[in-house]
C-alpha cells in the first residue's frame, strides 16, 4: 500500500486523538522501530490493518467504524491534493463512474506498483448508482468511507441507501454501495 | 502536541527516519530516471545509427539497380541495333540469291529434269519466305530503333490512313468498316496507322468464309489518362490457347495452310503499343469473331476533358 495512505492515516490520528495516542498505536502495532512513514514509500497493507486495530483498542470503537471515518477524511485529502479529478463535476455519480476508468488509471501510471481495487459502477435507473468494490485486500470499510467523503464533497442530495457485503476473497474484500439521488437523478 | 518528552522524542525520531527513507527513495528514483534517460539516449543513438546504415544500404541498392537498369537498356539497344543491321544487311545477298535462282529457272527450265526443276521451285519459294522473314524482322527492329517521338495525333486520321493503304484489298473483299469518333492520343502517328493497318488486314485475312467481313473501331477515354481502343471483326476468331502465341514473333497459330503470312504483324503491334506505355490483348469467341483491345496515352487536351468518347 502506498505511503500516502499511511502518512494521511498518521495525520488523521494525530489530528483527532493527539500525538500520544498515535505514539501508542504505532508502538502497539509495529513496534518502536516502525511507523516512520513517507509518502514516497510502499508498505505492507497489513500494517494499515494493524494500526486501525490498535486504534480500535485504544478508543473502544470498532475497526470498521474507524476505517470508514478515515476513508471519509482520505477522500477530502485526495480531492485537495488532486483538484483536477473533481474539477468541472458537480455530482458524485459521474465522478464515481470514472474512478476505475480514469482516476485509478492515472494513479497506476504514477505508481506502477500501486495495489488498486476495482470500482465497478452501474445505473439500474436514472436516480440510482450501484458502486461495487472488489479487492484482494479487505478495505471495503475504507471504500465505504471514501464514498461517504465523496457524497460530502459534492454536497448534492444523494444518500447512501444500502451497503451490502458480497462474497469475495475473504471478509471485507467485496461490497456494493447503493446510492440514490433525491428527487430523481 | 504531547507534554511527554519521550513521545516527542520518538515522534521526532520517526520523522527523521521517514525523511531519511524519503531521501533514499528520492535518490534511488533519481538514479533510475538518470539511467532510464541514459539508456534512452543510447537507444536513440543506436536507432539513428541503424537508420543511417539502412539508408546507406538502400541507397547503394538503388544505385546498383539503376546501374543494372542502364546496363540492360544499353545491351537491349545494342541487341536491337544488331538485329536491325543483320536483317538490313541480309536483304541484299538474299535478293541476289533469289535473282540468280530466278535466272537459272528462266534460262534452263526446259532442260532441267523434272525433279531438279521441283527442287529449284522449292529453293525459290524458301528464299522468298526468308525474304519475308528478314523484312519482318527489320520492321520489328525498326519499331524501337526508327520510331518518331510520340506527339498528339488524331486516331481518326490514323485509321483513315490505314484504310487508304489497304483500299484495294478491302474493296475486293467487300469489307464494311465503321468507326466511332476516336480521341486524340499521344503517339508516333506512322506507327499508329501501321497498328490499325495490321489489325484491319488481319481481320480481313482471317475472315469467316461464310460472311461478308465487318470491322468496327471504337474507343473509350479512361480515368487513368489512357485511351482504350477496340478493333472488332466477325471473322473466324481464335482459340483461347492461341491468343498468347499470336503476338509472338513468327508464330502463326491456327490453321493457316491457305493463308500467306510470316507471323510478324501482331508482334509488331505489341511492340509498338508497349513502346508507348500501353498494352494489347485479344478477346474472341472462335467462329464468331475477334476483338483486339489496346491502350495508348491520351493526348493532354483529350485527357483533361475526361469522360468517354462515343463508344
Ligand atoms: C481523487 C480520488 C481518488 C484518488 C486520487 C485515489 C487514489 C488512490 C491511491 C493512491 C490508492 C493507493 C494505492 C495503493 O495502496 O497502492 C488508492 C487505493 C484505494 N482506492 Fe482510491 N482514489 C480516489 C478515489 C477513490 C474512491 C472514490 C474510492 C471508492 C469508491 C476509492 C477506493 C479505493 C480503495 C478501496 C483503495 C485501497 C484498497 C485496496 O487496496 O483494495 N478510491 N486510491
Ligand atoms: N483478326 C483475327 N482473327 C483471327 N485470327 C487472327 C486475327 N489476327 C491474327 N490472327 C491469328 O494470329 C496469327 C498471327 O497474326 P500476325 O498478324 O502476327 O501474323 P500473320 O497475319 O500470320 O502474318 P503477317 O501479319 O506477318 O503477314 C495469325 O496467323 C492468326 O492465326
Ligand atoms: Mg497479320
Residue B265 lies in a domain: yes
Closest CA to B166 of B197, B139, B135, B192: B197
- A109 and A163 together in one domain: yes
Residue A161's domain comprises 81-180
Q: Which residue has the cell 463508344?
A: B311
Assess whether A97 and A48 both reside in one domain: no
How sure is the predictor about A92, in pLDDT bands with cuts at 50, 70 and 90? very high
- pLDDT at res. B255: 87
CB B10 within 8 A of CB A32: yes
CB < 8 Å & 24+ apart, contacts of A112-117:
A113/A42, A114/A2, A115/A1, A115/A45, A117/A143
One domain, residues A109 and A167:
yes
pLDDT at residue B304 is higher than 50: no
Ligand that lies nearest to the alpha carbon of residue A100, given by its number in the listed order? 1
DSSP letter string over B121-176?
Answer: HHHHHHHHHHHHHHHHHHHHHHHHHSPPPPEEEEHHHHHHHHHHHHHHHHHHTT-E
Q: How far apart are CA B96 and CA B119, in angstroms?
A: 18
Other Cβ atoms within 10 Å of B285 Cβ, number: 11
Chain center to CA of B19: 80
Mean pLDDT of B49-68: 94
CA B175 from centroid of its chain's CA atoms: 31
**A139 pLDDT above the threshold of 50:** yes
| Helix H or strand E segment including A115 | none
Write down the pLDDT at residue A31.
87
∠ Cα A78 A81 A84 (to 5°): 95
Look at residue A184 and tell me whether its pLDDT is greater than 70. Answer: no
Region B162-181 average pLDDT: 91
Does some domain include residue B80?
A: no
Beta carbons of A40 and B22 less than 8 Å apart: yes
> Can you tell me the mean pLDDT for A103-117?
93
Domain CATH code at residue A176: 3.90.1520.10
- 3-state SS, residue B17: helix
Three-state secondary-structure class, residue A103: helix
Q: What is the pLDDT of residue B310?
A: 39
Is pLDDT at A185 greater than 60 in this prediction? no
Looking at residues B33-51, what average pLDDT do you find?
A: 94
Q: What is the pLDDT of residues B237-256, one digit of tens each?
A: 999 999 999 999 889 998 88
Pick the closest to residue A1 from A132, A142, A101 (CA basis).
A142
CA distance B38 to A8: 35
* Interface size, chain A vs chain B, as Cβ–Cβ contacts under 8 Å: 40
Q: What average pLDDT score do residues B172-194 get?
A: 94
Contact B14 A35 (CB under 8 A): yes
User: What local confidence, expressed as pLDDT, does residue B1 receive?
Assistant: 66
Neighbours of A167 (CB within 10 A): 8
- In Å, how far is B9's CA from the nearest CA of chain A? 10
Whether residue B305 has pLDDT greater than 70: no
Cβ of A144 closer than 6 Å to ligand 1, yes or no, is no
CA angle B177, B286, B173 (to 5 degrees): 30
CATH code, domain with B190: 3.30.565.10
Res. B309: pLDDT tops 80? no
Q: What's the rounded Cα separation, in Å, for the pair A2 and B136?
A: 91
On whether residue A72 sits in a domain, the answer given is no
Residues A170 and A131 in one domain: yes
pLDDT computed for residue B169 by the predictor:
85
Model pLDDT, residue B164: 94
Q: Which domain holds residue B167?
A: 151-310
For residue B195, the tally of other CB atoms under 10 A from its CB is: 29
Taking CA atoms only, the protein residue closest to ligand 1 atom 16 is A114
Mean pLDDT of B85-114: 90
Q: Is residue B28 part of a domain?
A: no
Q: For residue B17, what is the nearest residue in chain A, using CA coordinates? A: A36
Percent of chain B with pLDDT over 70: 96
Residue A73 located in a structural domain = no
Indicate if A55 and A10 belong to the same structural domain: yes
What pLDDT sits at residue B171?
Answer: 86
Q: Which residue has the cell 510502499?
A: A42
Averaged pLDDT for residues B102-113: 88
Domain count within chain A: 2
Determine the average pLDDT of the residues in B13-28: 92
Q: Of all residues in chain B, what percent carry a pLDDT higher than 90?
A: 73
pLDDT beyond 70 at B303: no
Q: For residue B85, tell me if it sits in a domain.
A: no
Which of B10, B28, B36 should one mutate to test binding to chain A, selecting the residue with the greatest count of A CBs within 10 A?
B10
Mean pLDDT of B74-79: 82
Residue of chain B with shortest Cα separation from A24 = B7
Distance of CA A58 to the CA centre of its chain: 21
Rounded to 5 degrees, what are φ and ψ at B212?
-75, 130
Assess B14–A contact: CB distance below 8 Å, yes or no.
yes
The ligand with the least distance to the CA atom of B247 is: 2
**Cell numbers that stand for B116 in this block:** 531438279
Residue B82 pLDDT > 50? yes
Inform me whether the pLDDT recorded for B47 exceeds 60: yes
Report which of A117, A162, A119, A163 is spatially closest to residue A138, judged by C-alpha positions.
A117
Work out the mean pLDDT of chain B and round it to a whole number.
91
Question: Is residue B184 domain-resident?
Answer: yes
Q: Is the pLDDT of residue B302 over 90?
A: no
Residues A126 and A35 in one domain: no
Q: What's the rounded mean pLDDT across residues B82-89?
A: 85
Split into its structural domains, chain B has a count of: 1
Model pLDDT, residue B95 = 94
Q: What is the pLDDT of residue A36?
A: 93
**Mean pLDDT across chain A:** 95
Q: What is the pLDDT of residue B257?
A: 84
Where residue A120 falls among pLDDT bands split at 50, 70, 90? very high
For the question of an ipTM over 0.85, the answer is no
Are both A11 and A45 inside the same structural domain? yes
The predicted pLDDT at position B110 comes to 80
Q: Which of A101, A164, A93 is nearest to A133 (CA)?
A: A164
Q: Specify the range with the lowest mean pLDDT, choosing from B46-50, B111-115, B217-221.
A: B111-115
What pTM was estimated for this model as a whole? 0.54
Write the pLDDT tens digit of every residue in B189-243: 999 999 999 999 999 999 999 999 999 999 999 999 999 999 999 999 999 999 9
Whether A122 maps to a domain, the answer reads yes
User: What pLDDT, on the 0 to 100 scale, is given for residue B146?
Assistant: 86
- Whether A157 and A92 have beta carbons less than 8 Å apart is answered as no
Is the pLDDT at B179 greater than 80? The verdict is: yes
Which helix (H) or strand (E) element contains residue A136?
none
Which residue in A122, A65, A62 sits closest to A96, CA to CA?
A122
* Same domain flag for A106 and A57: no
Residue of A4, A10, A23 to mutate for B, most B C-beta atoms under 10 A: A23
pLDDT band at B3 (very low <50, low <70, confident <90, very high): confident
- Cα–Cα–Cα angle for B303, B308, B309, rounded to 5 degrees: 95
Identify whether the C-beta of residue A137 lies closer than 8 Å to the C-beta of residue A170: no
Q: Over the range B73-92, which residues count as b (16 or more CB within 10 Å of their CB) and which as e?
A: eeeeeeebeebbeebeebee
Q: Which is higher by pLDDT, B235 or B147?
A: B235
In chain A, how long is the greatest CA-to-CA distance? 54
| Closest by CA position to B166, among listed B214, B211, B198 | B198
Please state the atom number of ligand 1 nearest to the C-alpha of residue A131: 30
- A38 and B25 in contact by Cβ < 8 A? yes
In chain A, residues with a C-beta closer than 8 Å to the C-beta of B4 are 20
B246 lines ligand 2 (CB under 6 A): yes
CA–CA distances in Å: residue B265 to residues A101, B133, B229, B262: 74, 11, 18, 8
Looking at residues A143-147, what average pLDDT do you find?
98
Predicted pLDDT of residue B295: 98
Rounded average pLDDT over B32-40: 93
Distance of CA A107 from the midpoint of ligand 1 (Å): 9
Cβ contact, residue pair A38, B7, below 8 Å = no
Amino acid at each position: 500500500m502506498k505511503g500516502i495512505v499511511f502518512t494521511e492515516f498518521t495525520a488523521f490520528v494525530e489530528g483527532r486523538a493527539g500525538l500520544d495516542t498515535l505514539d501508542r498505536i504505532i508502538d502497539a502495532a509495529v513496534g518502536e522501530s516502525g511507523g516512520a512513514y513517507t509518502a514516497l514509500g510502499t508498505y505492507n497493507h497489513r500494517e494499515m490493518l494493524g494500526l486501525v486495530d490498535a486504534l480500535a483498542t485504544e478508543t473502544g470503537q470498532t475497526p470498521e467504524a474507524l476505517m470508514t471515518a478515515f476513508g471519509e477524511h482520505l477522500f477530502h485529502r485526495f480531492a485537495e491534493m488532486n483538484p483536477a479529478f473533481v474539477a468541472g463535476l458537480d455530482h458524485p455519480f459521474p465522478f464515481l463512474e470514472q474512478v476505475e476508468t480514469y482516476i485509478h488509471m492515472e494513479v497506476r501510471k504514477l505508481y506502477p506498483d500501486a495495489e488498486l481495487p476495482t470500482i465497478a459502477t452501474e445505473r439500474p435507473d436514472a436516480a440510482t448508482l450501484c458502486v461495487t468494490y472488489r479487492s484482494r485486500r479487505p478495505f471495503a470499510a475504507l471504500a465505504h468511507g471514501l464514498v461517504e467523503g465523496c457524497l460530502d464533497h459534492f454536497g448534492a442530495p444523494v444518500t447512501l441507501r444500502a451497503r451490502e457485503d458480497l462474497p469475495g476473497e475473504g471478509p471485507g474484500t467485496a461490497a456494493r454501495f447503493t446510492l440514490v439521488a433525491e428527487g430523481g437523478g | 502536541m504531547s507534554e511527554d518528552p519521550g513521545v516527542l522524542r520518538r515522534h521526532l525520531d520517526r520523522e527523521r527516519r521517514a525523511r531519511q527513507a524519503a531521501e533514499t527513495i528520492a535518490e534511488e528514483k533519481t538514479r533510475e530516471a538518470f539511467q532510464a534517460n541514459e539508456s534512452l539516449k543510447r537507444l536513440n543513438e543506436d536507432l539513428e545509427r541503424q537508420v543511417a546504415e539502412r539508408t546507406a544500404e538502400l541507397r547503394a541498392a538503388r544505385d546498383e539497380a539503376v546501374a543494372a537498369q542502364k546496363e540492360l537498356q544499353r545491351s537491349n539497344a545494342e541487341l536491337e541495333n544488331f538485329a536491325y543491321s543483320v536483317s538490313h544487311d541480309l536483304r541484299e545477298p538474299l535478293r541476289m540469291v533469289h535473282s540468280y535462282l530466278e535466272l537459272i529457272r528462266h534460262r534452263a527450265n526446259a532442260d532441267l529434269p523434272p525433279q531438279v526443276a521441283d527442287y529449284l521451285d522449292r529453293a525459290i519459294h524458301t528464299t522468298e519466305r526468308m525474304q519475308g522473314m528478314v523484312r519482318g524482322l527489320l520492321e520489328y527492329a525498326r519499331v524501337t530503333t526508327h520510331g518518331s517521338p510520340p506527339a498528339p495525333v488524331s486516331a481518326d486520321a490514323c485509321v483513315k490512313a490505314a484504310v487508304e493503304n489497304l483500299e484495294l484489298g478491302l474493296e475486293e473483299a467487300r469489307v464494311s468498316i465503321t468507326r466511332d469518333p476516336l480521341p486524340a492520343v499521344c503517339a508516333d502517328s506512322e506507327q499508329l496507322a501501321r497498328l490499325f493497318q495490321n489489325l484491319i488486314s488481319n481481320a480481313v485475312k482471317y475472315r469467316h468464309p461464310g460472311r461478308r467481313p465487318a470491322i468496327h473501331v471504337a474507343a473509350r477515354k479512361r480515368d487513368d489518362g489512357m485511351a482504350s481502343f477496340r478493333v472488332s471483326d466477325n471473322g473466324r476468331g481464335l482459340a483461347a490457347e492461341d491468343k498468347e502465341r499470336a503476338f509472338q514473333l513468327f508464330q502463326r497459330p491456327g490453321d493457316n495452310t491457305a493463308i500467306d503470312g510470316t507471323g510478324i504483324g501482331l508482334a509488331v503491334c505489341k511492340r509498338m503499343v508497349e513502346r508507348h506505355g500501353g498494352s494489347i490483348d485479344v478477346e474472341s469467341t472462335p467462329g464468331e469473331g475477334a476483338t483486339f483491345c489496346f491502350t495508348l496515352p491520351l493526348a493532354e487536351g483529350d485527357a483533361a476533358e475526361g469522360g468517354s468518347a462515343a463508344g
